[in-house]
Structure 1
Amino acid sequence: MEVKASSKSYPVYVGNNTIAQLPELIEKHALHKNVFIVVDENVLGYHLKKIKSLITERMRKVVVVEYVANEKSKNNKSVEEFYDCLIKNEFGRDTLIIAIGGGITGDIAGYVASTFSRGVQFIQVPTTLLAAVDSSVGGKTGINYGKTKNLIGTFYQPEFVLVDTSFLKTLKEEEIVCGLGEIIKYAYLGDDKLYLTFRSELKQIMKLSPKPTTKMIETCINMKASVVQADEMEGGLRKILNLGHTFAHAIEVEQDHKIKHGQAVIIGLVCALYLSHFKGIMKDEKLVKYISLPLFLQDKITLDKCNVENIYKVMLRDKKGRDGKTKFVLLSEPGIL
């Protein structure tokens, strides 16, 4: 698969145990040999042998940094620590940064890559279902600032994305649910046929059945790639990828990040459907039909009591807002937004 963004085109490799191909792919793409690897601490704990196998004699210099990935560490302090490590180890513009982890790891490592020495080479290796189907593709990088998610960031495309489905085997159930949140979003962005396909395969993906899971990852990546190709900088069409996210980001902040992003997306999608119905965009029977998909996962999510007024205040700070107004993506049925 290939992402043809206006700033850069790059491939996305998807398969099982493909991580072993990483050194070869670095050679194939003639990338820099000074390698700075940012790896999620959980990935390092479960897959230390795999990570060590990536270091080869062909690499001139390799530094592996263990990152404690969570929304509270996705901040400028962590960015400065990465900068300090890069400078201490005498990395320059001929640096290749590799992110191995979930969406948070990819976001912050991508941001560091886009700003260090005014931009160095970058590779995404997503290890969660959410990162595989969504955040690793498209070039969005960023960190949280204050109580606003992803307020500071860049659009910066990687050299390539490498999805290895073997990493998914060590995910906890809540991480699989998080990935399903983004998958359900794509179910609404496609047509009714695709929605029904997603719905019929949801239980299999929940169990990470190899064939349907790989197929679903590829479908979501292709959908996102087509949107990014048309609107890389989110000037118009790409905003549809924010379906449910205005609610989700506000809920995450209001809950002090006690709820994970993908879980918040599921709640956000339910809110978006109800708002679509409230505004007269979605008919009664359509609401009943389409809301059943995220509600299938309702017993997998625990939400503390919310302060609705605080959620409204957070949504007013949402970076997608314009002229002091909060913007939402709404729909009448799958594919019609």
Structure 2
Amino acid sequence: MKKIDIKIPNNFYQVYLGSNIFHKLSNLDVIKRNKNIFLVVDKNLYLNHRDKISLFYNNIGTKKFLYVFEATEKNKSFTEIKNIIAALIKNNFGRDTLLISIGGGITGDVASFAASIYSRGIKYINVPTTLLSMVDSSVGGKTGINFGNTKNIVGTFYQPDLVFIDIEFLKTLPHEEIVCGMGEILKYGLLIGDNFFEEIKNKRNKILEFNSTTIIDVIKNCIQFKSDIVRNDEKEKTGLRKVLNLGHTFAHAIEVEQKHHIKHGQAVIAGLACALHLSNKINLLNDSNLEKYLPLLISFADSIDIQKYDTKKLYEIMKRDKKNKDEKIKFVLLKKAGELFVDIETKKEDVIYALNNGLQYYKA
């Protein structure tokens, strides 16, 4: 079992990472010290791992409650936050409560937001169980829910006390969930540099085939890179953390415009393709590098089906992105892997060009 230190100022915590290690979670001191434990568990995960979750539940706390959560974008809402808080109050959980999230990114976003506002903040542990949440959303402290047709527009910065990653959970996931995780992994390949991008390219099939050593190494590299970024810009004050949004301005709009017909990680892959084309259109990314990076993104086209889309609507949705200022869309673009630019403004026609060229690979 590996340990990764997340050294955020005033918020030091550790990530435990390994294969078939979930049974060790109940033995950790942070679990043993807390007698009042509230679990938020993804419904599908609970159905697939009921015995494992029940054994863990029976070995923790003196007062405990299991809240089963249906992890959909629709439930990433104030209504679900209200339901969780109502359950906390009804069962007399106070500020000495430890909330544990077991599930993917949606479960983690909702549970951590509830933890951040209940009694002005209670302790929180994240147990991510999807590849996407393992490599990205479980670390960094961003919580969030959707409001209306705007994704992640309401939320807080709230660091967990611990992150615990057991890659065995990946074996019961459908293929599309692994593809979703690849979306964030590809993002990190473009953020970290050409060497890591080539490593991902060469190990693509090993990741999809659940090679434990490969998956653990890739997750570790992504987490370490993100933790370095977050340590230096936890709350996006300097602009450094904005690089983590590469492809996401496009992706969030695609998700909403497609009415969440495709999942976040799938939209990220398409969004990265759009970001590459926009970078190329405004002469940041040369043709040679565009041709070097695109094929790996396009290799997942069979797993992503973009229905008929409206570029004008996509553009209007992007204008609501929370990173924008003065109603101007701010993009993260790149010159090459590892060399990024933030807060780039472009012409509307260039954005439409990028949408059409990026989405063409994934049209149903």
TM over 0.5: yes
Is this contact kept in 2: 1:32–1:121, CA < 8 A?
A: no
Give 1:180's aligned residue.
182
Instruction: Provide the residue aligned with 1:194 in structure 2.
Output: 196
Partner of 1:239: 242
Match of 1:324 in 2: 327
Cα displacement (A) at 1:264: 0.2
Counterpart of 2:15 (choices 12, 16, 39) is 12
SS, match of residue 161 in structure 1: strand
1:28-67 pair list within 5 angstroms: 28=30, 31-56=33-58, 59-67=61-69
Tell me, yes or no, if the aligned pair for 1:176 and 1:206 is still in contact at 8 Å: yes
For 1:198 and 1:180, how far apart are their aligned partners in 2? 9
Give the SS at the match of 2:337.
Answer: coil
Q: 2:170 aligns with which of 168, 171, 174?
A: 168
In the TM superposition, what is the alpha-carbon distance from 1:55 to its structure 2 partner? 2.3
Q: Is the 8 A contact 2:31 2:60 kept in 1?
A: no
User: What amino acid does structure 1 have at the position aligned with 2:311?
Assistant: V
Deviations 1:199-218 (A, max 9, x none): 10011101111110111111
Q: Find 1:22's aligned residue among 14, 20, 25.
A: 25
Matched residue, 1:3: 6
Q: Which amino acid aligns with 1:336?
A: E
Does the 8 A contact of 2:25 with 2:31 survive in 1?
no
SS in 2 for 1:332: strand
Q: Deviations over 1:118-172 (max 9, x none)?
A: 0000000000000000000000001000100000000000000000011000010
CA distance in 1 between partners of 2:9 and 2:319 (Å): 30
**Distance in 2, Cα, partners of 1:34 & 1:239:** 36
2: distance between equivalents of 1:116 and 1:231?
A: 25
8 Å CA contact 2:234, 2:241 repeated in 1? yes
| More deviation, 155-164/204-213 | 204-213
1:254-273 paired onto structure 2 within 5 Å: 254-273=257-276
> Displacement, 1:273?
0.1
**2:269 maps to 1:276:** no
- Asked whether the 8 Å contact 1:31–1:121 carries over to 2, the reply is no
Deviations 1:73-114 (A, max 9, x none): 100000000011111100010111000000000000000000
Equivalence for 2:348: none
**Residue of structure 2 aligned with 1:300, choices 298, 303, 315:** 303
2:338 is equivalent to residue 335 of structure 1 = yes
| TM-score under structure 1 length normalisation | 0.98
Q: Distance in 1 between matches of 2:337 and 2:32?
A: 41
Q: Distance in 1 between matches of 2:33 and 2:300?
A: 42
Alpha-carbon distance between aligned partners in 2 of 1:53 and 1:2, rounded to the nearest angstrom: 28
Segments of structure 2 that go 5 or more residues without pairing to the other structure are 341-364
Query: What is the rounded CA distance, in whole Å, between the counterparts of 1:192 and 1:167 in structure 2?
Result: 30
Instruction: Return the alpha-carbon distance in structure 2 between the equivalents of residues 333 and 135 of structure 1.
Output: 24
**8 Å CA contact 1:286, 1:333 repeated in 2:** yes
Q: CA distance change for structure 1 residues 58 and 109 in 2, over 3 Å: closer, same or farther?
A: closer
Higher relative contact order (CA 8 A, sep 6+): 1
Matches of residues 91-130 of structure 1 in structure 2 within 5 Å? 91-130=93-132
1:5 Cα deviation (Å)? 1.3
In 1, the alpha carbon distance for the partners of 2:7 and 2:267 equals: 30
Report the equivalent of 1:146: 148
Return the match for 2:252 from 249, 253, 263: 249
What RMSD in Å do the two structures reach over aligned CA positions? 1.0
Query: Sequence identity, in percent?
Result: 49
Tell me how far 1:323 sits from its aligned partner: 1.5
| Equivalent residues of 2:183, 2:265 under 8 A apart | yes
Say if 2:105 and 2:137, in contact at 8 Å, map to a contact too. yes
1:30-80 CA-partner distances (Å, limit 9, x unpaired) = 642101000000100110111011124551211001100010110000000
User: Alpha carbons of 1:263 and 1:58: their partners in 2 closer, same or farther (altered >3 Å)?
Assistant: closer
Structure 1 window deviating more from structure 2 (231-240 vs 120-129): it is: 231-240
For 1:63 and 1:20, locate their aligned partners in 2 and report how far apart those are by CA, in whole Å: 19
What residue ranges of structure 1 are gaps of 5+ in the alignment? Answer: none
* Range 28-37 or range 181-190, more displaced: 28-37
Given that 1:122 and 1:158 are in contact with CA atoms closer than 8 Å, whether structure 2 keeps it comes out as: yes
What amino acid does structure 2 have at the position aligned with 1:208? F
Which residue of structure 1 aligns with residue 347 of structure 2?
none
Name the CA distance, whole Å, in 1 between partners of 2:21 and 2:169.
Answer: 10
**What TM-score do you get using the length of structure 2 for normalisation?**
0.91
The CA distance in 2 between the partners of 1:87 and 1:270, in whole Å, is 45
The answer for the alignment partner of 2:346 in structure 1 is: none
